[in-house]
Amino acid sequence: MTFIPSYIKLYESGELKERAEKALEILKACTSCPRDCKVDRFNNEYGFCLSGYLPIVSSYTPHFGEEPVLSGTRGAGNIFFGNCNLRCIYCQNYEISQNWKVERKHEVTHERLAEIMLRLQEIGCHNIGLVSPTHFSATILKSIYIAASKGLRLPIIYNTNGYDSVEVLKLYEGIVDIYLPDFKYGNDEYAKKYSCVDNYFEKTKAAIKEMFRQVGDELKYNGDVVVRGLIIRHLVLPNYLAETEKVFKFIAEELSPNVHISLMSQYYPTNKAHKEILLNRTLRQSEYEKALELLDKYGLHNGWIQEMESYNNYRPHFSYDRENPFLN
């Protein structure tokens, strides 16, 4: 049976358009994320994310590096948004997340973003992956509405760093079918030091609780590809700086032990990580094994793990994606 994304019903009822219009109002005193900068992005004032009214699309491509159940055989249709509401000193996407003067040149209209979604559908991608959408969450909805009106029928993945506004996530209920948040830290001190963010643990717990409320702990499939559900990613950091146990304890006790976890070993010292002695190396086998033991301790048996050598395989090439004539 053909899968019908949740947003189709909202489009047909007119509610998708209403949600998109309501979301844009948020930009007039921006509370798109928990930083609550309250700048007028509608008129291109800039807060922490250094982003204005229009979305910035750094690249878009069929992507085969996601979890196998998302990439499938034809790739996830990933759209990488420029800039970010965090400043992770080890960010593997720092070329686009922390290079705002360059990325501003890649602003696109809502209509163009809708065209990109439709192009990814046309070339056969399994889904639309919104990668780092948080700071554009209030403006992306308009493009989803336009794309739906022109025939978009793919499930939407909300692939986020986890530092999201519950208010905005509620606007996405029934629009996003697959939530793919990072849960970076169980420790606010490390989050502040390494990602320049306050109250990350509490704010991310609240956001992921809302995602869980919307889609639950069960993954739904169309063939071998997931079309609805929640997958929480956790990147293991050197020297146990992610406080993995606190993250897993929260998931098991406040969400469900059935939630799917994607445990990542792909850390490598990039961006500014070489300046921090505790982050200036790849993982040790013992550190990753400790995280695996914690999965068992908290009964988190659904999901995926990476090989220790994975840090060699997850290095993005955004210049290639921008210039790929297959996509344009």
- Residue spans per domain, the chain: 7-323
pLDDT score for 108: 97
Q: Mean pLDDT, to the nearest integer, of 46-59?
A: 95
Identify the architecture of domain 7-323 in CATH.
Answer: Alpha-Beta Barrel (3.20)
Q: Mean pLDDT, to the nearest integer, of 235-258?
A: 98
pLDDT score for 325: 41
Pairing of strands 225-235, 260-264: parallel
Q: Which amino acid is at 217?
A: D
pLDDT score for 308: 81
CB 65 within 8 A of CB 167: no
CA 278 from chain centre, in angstroms, equals: 26
CB 314 within 8 A of CB 64: no
Torsion sign, CA atoms 222, 225, 227, 230: positive
Where helices occur in the chain by DSSP H, the ranges are 7-13, 15-26, 68-71, 94-97, 100-103, 110-122, 137-149, 166-171, 188-195, 200-215, 244-250, 285-297, 318-323
pLDDT score for 30: 98
pTM of this prediction exceeds 0.85: yes
Q: Mean pLDDT, the chain, as a whole number?
A: 94
Phi, psi of 303 (to 5 degrees): 135, -150
CB 127 within 8 A of CB 157: yes
CB-based contacts of 92: which residues, under 8 Å, 6+ apart?
A: 266, 268, 270, 271, 314, 315, 316
Q: Mean pLDDT, to the nearest integer, of 67-95?
A: 96
pLDDT score for 315: 57
Phi, psi of 327 (to 5 degrees): -95, -20
| Region of poorest pLDDT, from 116-125, 203-212, 282-291, 313-322 | 313-322
